[in-house]
Structure 1
């Protein structure tokens, strides 16, 4: 029997695109999103943030 995955396990196994989409859905409101300046149609700002080697907390 396969071991059940937790939500943390799913997040750890997610691709950058999957994680970016998940973060975008959690944010829900573009006007309040901390990554909105990096967004454009078909691309979330979170994708750039996740791919960056430099830490940024968007503050």
Structure 2
């Protein structure tokens, strides 16, 4: 997840908090467009991106 946050920060010129909010918005949008049975997999996919335990507060949205 840190890699995605870093890319958002670099490419969009935003801070950690803004990057996390952007990821949350994308995740929620994708989930809203999918049937409920599939939408649950989006959360699992994002959890899998986190890999190791949280490295900083930017990963809090996964909880």
Q: What TM-score comes out, normalization by structure 1 length?
A: 0.35
Q: What TM-score comes out, normalization by structure 2 length?
A: 0.34
Higher RCO, Cα 8 Å, sep 6+:
2
Q: Which has the higher helix share?
A: 2
